[in-house]
Amino acid sequence: TKEKKALFIIFGGTGDLANRKLYPSLYRLYKNGYLNEHFAVIGTARREWSDEYYREVVVSKVEDLADTKEQAEEFASHFYYQSHNVKDLEHYTTLKNLADRLDDKYQLEGNRMFYLAMSPNFFGIIAENIKEQQLITSTGFNRLIIEKPFGHDYQSALELNTHIRSSFEEDQIYRIDHYLGKEMVQNISTVRFGNQLIESMWNNQYINNIQVTLSESLGVEERGGYYDTSGALRDMVQNHVLQIVALLAMEPPSIMHDNEIRQEKIKALRALRLYSKDEVRLNFVRGQYGHSTVNGETLLGYCEEQNVAEDSQTETFVAGKLFIDNVRWSGVPIYIRTGKRLAEKGTQIDIEFKNIPHQLFQTENDEPLPPNVLSIFISPTEGFSLQLNAKKIGPGVKAEPIKLTSIRSAEETANNPEAYEKLILDCLNGDATNFTHWDEVASSWEFVDRIREAWDETTMEFPNYPSGSMGPIESMYLLKKDGFQWHWSP
Ligand code: NAD
C-alpha cells in the first residue's frame, strides 16, 4: 500500500514555515493517501496551546484544500501540541512520553520524522537532545529534516554538522533545499539524460556558456533583520544557485538513485574553480537596490527597509562567472545572477550553444545568425524553449531564429505537488536525492567564503541599482567583456 506510517515531531510548530508550507503539504499527502490512519503530528513551540486550539489552527491552514470541513477536522485530529523550550531537558522527556503514547495509539512502528522548523541556532541542541533524551526509536526509521540556512560560512557549517552528526548518521539527515523539490529543477536531469540530442552536446565542444538567473521582484519585506546578516550570496548562491549548477554540470550517474546522483553532484561542486581575491573582483559583481518609482508606486531602497542598517553593506544582488575545472566543462563560463527588487520574478536557465563553424546563412539584415539556445523555465513559468534558425519565408535564402516551445499550462501546473509535499514524501520513502549531502554543503561554502572574504575587504558605493531594473550595469559587462549577453532580459 502507499500509506506511510510515521510520527512527525515539528519543532517550531507555531511558526511561519509550519503554517504556510508544512501543514498544507501534510494535508495533500493525507488527501492523496500517503498519510492515512497511521500518522500523528506533535507540534512543539514555546507558547502554551491546547490540542484543541492547535487543531483549530491546523484546520484553518488546510481548509481551502479540503473537500469538506469534516475532512480537514479528521486530519487535524491526528495533531497534538506540546509546549516546549528546546533548551529545557525535562521537556524532551515529556515529549518522549507523548511520542511513545502516540506510537502505540496509531501503530506507527517506531517511525519518526523530526522536523526542525525553527531558528538554525537551535538545530544542534535539538538534535543532541533528541538523541540523549532517547526520542530515537530502535524499531523504525528516525529521520531529521533540517531547514536552511545550514551555517553562515564553512566553519560554522562544519561545527553545526559535527554537532548534528554526534546524534544522527549522515543517511538520517535530510537537509532541505526547497528548490530541489521544484518540478522543473527535477526536470533538468530528465531532459539532460533522457535525450541523446541534448546529452551528446552537453559539453565544452558544443556549449558556449550557461546562464542561471534566480530573479525576485520583491524586496526584503519583513525579513530585513535576518537578511541584513546574510545577503544574496549566502541566502541564494550557496544553496539554490549552486545546487542548480551542480545538476547542470554533473556527470551522468549510473542509475537515478540518491547515492549515485549525490556523488556526481559532489564531484561537480568540488571541481568549481576557487577564486583568489583578484579573481573575485574580476568575476563577481554585487549590488544593492536603491529606491525608485515603478508604475507610480514608490519602492524603498534597501537601507530604508525595516530592520536594515542605514549604512548596510549587505548585497541584495550577485552576479558571477563560474568555471567547473574538468574535461567536460573546461573553458565554458557559467554565469549566475540572483537578486531582489529586480524587474521580474522568475527562475530560468539558458544554455547557449556554439555557432556552426562555417556560416552559410545570414539574417534579413545580413547579420550573422544567433546561437541556438535551450531555455529551461523553472518558475513561475514552467517549460522549455529551444531556439533554432530556419529559413525566412519568401524569395532568397535568408534565415531567422525560431523557437520550439513547450510551456506547461496553468491547469497542468495547478495540480503540481508542492515542493515541500514532494520533499516530505521523499523523506518518508528514505529517498535523499533531493536533499543536500554534507559534502555538497561543504564545497559550496568553500566556494562562497572566498567571495565573501574578498568583498569584506572593500566598501561599496551602495545603492548601485534601482528597484525594478535587472541589477547593476557591471552585471551586463561581466558577459559583454566575453562577447556574450544575458539571454533573459525582461
Ligand atoms: P518563525 O519565527 O515563524 O517560527 C519559529 C518557531 O520556533 C515558532 O514556532 C517559535 O515558537 C519557535 N521557537 C522559537 N524559539 C523557541 C525555543 N527556545 N523553544 C521552543 N520553540 C521556539 O520561523 P519560520 O519562518 O517558520 O522559519 C523556521 C525555519 O525555516 C528557519 O530555519 C528558516 O530559516 C527556515 N525557512 C523558513 C521559510 C519560510 O518561508 N518561513 C523558508 C525557508 C526556510
Per-residue pLDDT tens over the stretch 104-159: 999 999 999 999 999 999 999 999 999 999 999 999 999 999 999 999 999 999 99
Q: What residues flank ligand 1, with Cβ below 6 Å?
A: 12-18, 45-47, 84-86, 117-120, 147-148
- Pick left, alpha or beta for residue 337 (phi over 0 → left; psi -120 to 50 → alpha; otherwise beta): beta
Q: Which of 44, 119, 230 most suits a substitution to test ligand 1, by most atoms within 8 Å of the C-beta?
A: 119
Residue nearest ligand 1's atom 4 by CA: 15
Minimal-distance CA residue to ligand 1 atom 17: 85
- Is 335 inside a domain boundary? yes
Q: Answer yes or no: is 162 within a domain.
A: no
Task: Please tell me the distance between residue 467's alpha carbon and the centre of ligand 1 in angstroms.
Answer: 29
Whole-number Å distance between alpha carbons of 267 and 251: 9
Residue 119 shares a structural domain with residue 184: no
**170 found inside a domain:** no
* pTM (2 d.p.): 0.97
**Tally of structural domains, the chain:** 2
Q: What pLDDT does 411 receive?
A: 86
Distance from the alpha carbon of residue 382 to the mean position of ligand 1, in angstroms = 30
Q: Which of 147, 168, 198 is the last residue of a domain?
A: 147
In a domain, 152, yes or no: no
Q: What is the pLDDT of residue 142?
A: 98
- 122 & 208 share domain: no
38 assigned to some structural domain: yes
Which ligand 1 atom is the nearest neighbour of the CA of 85? 19
Residue nearest to atom 30 of ligand 1 (CA): 117
CATH number (domain holding residue 450):
3.30.360.10
Same domain, 242 and 385: yes
Do residues 76 and 222 share a domain?
A: no
Task: Return d(Cα 431, Cα 425) in angstroms, integer.
Answer: 9
403 and 271, same structural domain?
Answer: yes
Q: How far is the CA of 118 from the centre of ligand 1 (A)?
A: 3
CA distance readout (Å), 308 to 36, 199, 228: 45, 46, 6
Residues annotated in the binding site for substrate, as ranges? 178, 182, 216, 235, 340, 345
What whole-number distance in Å separates Cα of residue 463 and Cα of residue 311? 10
pLDDT at residue 410, rounded to an integer: 85
Q: Is 71 in the same domain as 119?
A: yes
Residues 133 and 282 in one domain: no
Residues 327 and 402 occupy one common structural domain: yes
pLDDT digits (tens, 9 = 90+) for 309-346: 999 999 999 999 999 999 999 999 999 999 999 999 99
CA-CA-CA-CA dihedral for 146, 148, 153, 154, to nearest 10: 40
Find the Cα–Cα–Cα–Cα dihedral 34, 187, 216, 267, rounded to 10°: 100
The annotated binding site for NADP(+) is made up of 46, 148
Q: What is the position in ligand 1's atom list of the atom closest to the CA of 149?
A: 34
Say how many Å lie between the CA of residue 174 and the centre of ligand 1: 17
Ligand 1 atom closest to 120 (CA): 32
Residue 131 lies in a domain: yes
Residue 454's contacts (CB-CB under 8 Å, 6 or more residues apart) are 275, 277, 280, 281, 284
Active site members: 240
Atom 41 of ligand 1 has which residue's CA nearest to it? 17
Enter the C-alpha cell of residue 324: 567547473
CB-based contacts of 44, cutoff 8 Å, min separation 6: 9, 10, 11, 12, 13, 81, 82, 83, 84, 95
Q: Taking each helix axis as running N to C, give the angle between helix 183-193 and helix 242-249, from 0 to 180 degrees, rounded to the nearest 10.
A: 20
Pair (71, 206) in one structural domain: no
Does 56 map to a domain?
yes
For residue 89, give the CATH number of its domain: 3.40.50.720
Residue 237's domain comprises 180-480
Residue 405 resides in a domain: yes
Q: Reduce the DSSP state of residue 324 to 3 states and report it.
A: strand
- Other Cβ atoms closer than 10 A to 41: 26
* Annotated binding-site ranges: 46, 148, 178, 182, 216, 235, 340, 345
Residue 416's pLDDT is 86
275 shares its domain with 391: yes
Q: Which atom of ligand 1 is nearest to the CA of 45?
A: 21
Ligand 1 centroid to Cα of residue 45, in Å, is 9
Q: Are residues 142 and 207 in the same domain?
A: no
Distance (Å, rounded) from C-alpha 29 to C-alpha 98? 23
Residues 131 and 214 in one domain: no
- Tell me the one-letter amino acid at 440: E
Name the stretches of the chain with pLDDT < 70: none
